[in-house]
Amino acid sequence: MIIIALISIPILTIGFKLFGGPGESWSHILEYVLVDYLQNSLLLALFCTLMVVLFGVTTAWLVSRFEFPFRKQLEWLLILPLAVPAYIMAYAYAGIFGYSGLFSKVAEAIGMNNFSIDMMNIYGLSFVLSISLFPYVYVSCRTFFLAQATNLLEASRMLGISEFKSFFKLIFPLARPAVIAGLVLVMMEVLNDYGAASYYGVSTFTTGIFRSWFSLGEPETAIYLSAILLIIVFALILFEKWQRRHLKFSASKTSKQNYNSRLKPKFINQIGFSFICFIPVLLGFILPVLQLIIWTKQTFSKVWTLDFVVVTLESFGIAFITALVTVLVALLLLFFTKWNKIEWLKSSSKLGILGYAIPGIIIAIGVLIPSLYLDKWLIENNITSKLILNATLIALVYAYVVRFLAVAYQPLESSSLKIDRSLSDSSKVLGKGNFRTFFKIEFPLIRTGLLSAFILVFIDILKELPLTLIMKPYDVNTLAVKAFEYASDEMVSSAALPSLLIILTALVPAIFLNKLLLKNASDT
């Protein structure tokens, strides 16, 4: 209850602001730009959905169902694009396809002079966002395929249904919660993106929010715009829940894994599969990182200082602590609503995960207002002498939790949906309390989901920018902030080193996540 209240406060603060009405330029926005914002955002969402599902589901299915060369390596390589922040990806691709970039050099070398591809438009933006976000869908689908798809596929194979047919008839519909869980995260990131969209000159809802706030100087109008965005996101979530209302997703009771059950197709197909899985890795990781390495080589001596080691450690520490807190909060939220079958509590817990859809900057304001209020109250009552929440780690962590709760909540929810309800029910019938049941039965079953949640949040925090900029304590710095400082000075090549460090720091947990998925699968 308290948690829900704490998480909801910033969002409600924003909500109350709505009653103040929009600023005076609202009619101007309606007349000239709103259609443009809506159109671009929806197109972007559509393109990204298509590409993300294509990349994410295909690769997840291939690596968990078939045996082919380099499968094990590709399994974890496919998570890596997640380590590249979308705005960095956008800069890197603009560099690759831009003036005298890698692409034009390659084109020249093979005799195609003056052939160029323009990345900086809505299609390029969709591509950049999709290629950096598809691992969300990949991870959640793969968790699903590893956990329960095998038995079903075995059964359908025995019935003589071809592998591809059963994929479309059986696995794809069943994997829907997993696909959607990943996709919801992707959509929220896409709708939230500011850095990449503004650089590529695509006016979306979020760039519109920034524009009306900062260029028109009307925070009220900005909050109005983000409320519309929120309603759209909320409608999407409700629609999805409504769609699957009749479907139950309990796993078969004997979800035993049999690792020898991976199919071995013909060799030529195997090569094909390796190749297919390699493409997203190449586009989402190897190419952009290559570009970053080229830039780093030019700027290393200037950018690399002892400070950087400290900043790296600080980023790591902040991300670790916050990810821990976020997962804990998500867990409490999930089980609290599960135990208490009160409808309004359930729906209000949904409010909590909305934070992810709100631009980080607006969350920051939502957190600043109440925490400053509390700070002022404390000072007035002589409990403290200066601001203890504002610009401290406490406020920063709090804001992060509000913002990233959904990232932790989604994998936890989808993994807890797989727990056969009769398991926890029987534990309760045997007289064990909620907590006991949780630790003995549910916790071990959702361990994988728990760690996926932790790692996803961890990586997200490493990359987070707008909220960090405004909430961080003066003497703490993160790599994302460093990268941004260089990039916003139009020194993209100097931003390469901190970007590479973000990627490297995020690599460790990404690889760890993969090991865990494997271990967990072979344990059960």
Give the binding site for other proteins (CB under 8 A). Answer: 25, 28-29, 32-33, 94, 98-101, 116, 120-121, 198-201, 203, 207, 210-211, 213-217, 219, 295, 298-299, 302, 310, 313-314, 316-318, 320-321, 361, 364-365, 368-369, 372, 375-376, 379, 386-387, 390-391, 393, 466, 469-470, 473-476, 481, 485, 488-491, 493, 508, 512
Q: How far is the CB of 469 from other proteins (least distance, A)?
A: 4
Nearer to other proteins, 134 or 398 (CB): 398
Residue whose C-alpha is closest to residue 145's, from 186, 177, 187: 177
Q: Is 81 buried (19+), middle (13-18) or exposed (0-12) by CB count in 10 A? A: buried
Q: How far is the CB of 203 from other proteins (least distance, A)?
A: 6
Nearer to other proteins, 3 or 491 (CB): 491
Report the interhelical angle of 343-353 vs 2-17 (nearest 10°). 60
What secondary structure letter does DSSP report for 202? -
Return all residues near 173 (Cβ < 8 A) that are at least 6 apart. none
**CA gap 454, 447 in Å, rounded:** 11
Nearer to other proteins, 176 or 211 (CB): 211
Is 154:261 a contact under the CB 8 Å cutoff? yes
Nearer to other proteins, 85 or 509 (CB): 509
Within 193-254, residue ranges assigned H as helices are 195-199, 205-210, 219-243
Nearer to other proteins, 348 or 390 (CB): 390
Amino acid found at 274: S
Nearer to other proteins, 6 or 469 (CB): 469
Is 140:182 a contact under the CB 8 Å cutoff? yes
**CA gap 524, 515 in Å, rounded:** 15
Return all residues near 164 (Cβ < 8 A) that are at least 6 apart. none
Q: How far is the CB of 420 from other proteins (least distance, A)?
A: 30
Q: How far is the CB of 101 from other proteins (least distance, A)?
A: 8
Is 305:105 a contact under the CB 8 Å cutoff? no
Q: How far is the CB of 153 from other proteins (least distance, A)?
A: 34
Nearer to other proteins, 215 or 258 (CB): 215
What does residue 66 show for φ and ψ, rounded to 5 degrees? -120, 160
Nearer to other proteins, 489 or 523 (CB): 489
**CA gap 117, 371 in Å, rounded:** 48
Q: How far is the CB of 512 from other proteins (least distance, A)?
A: 8
**CA gap 280, 396 in Å, rounded:** 34
Q: How far is the CB of 150 from other proteins (least distance, A)?
A: 29
Q: How far is the CB of 60 from other proteins (least distance, A)?
A: 26
Residue whose C-alpha is closest to residue 53's, from 132, 130, 143, 142: 130
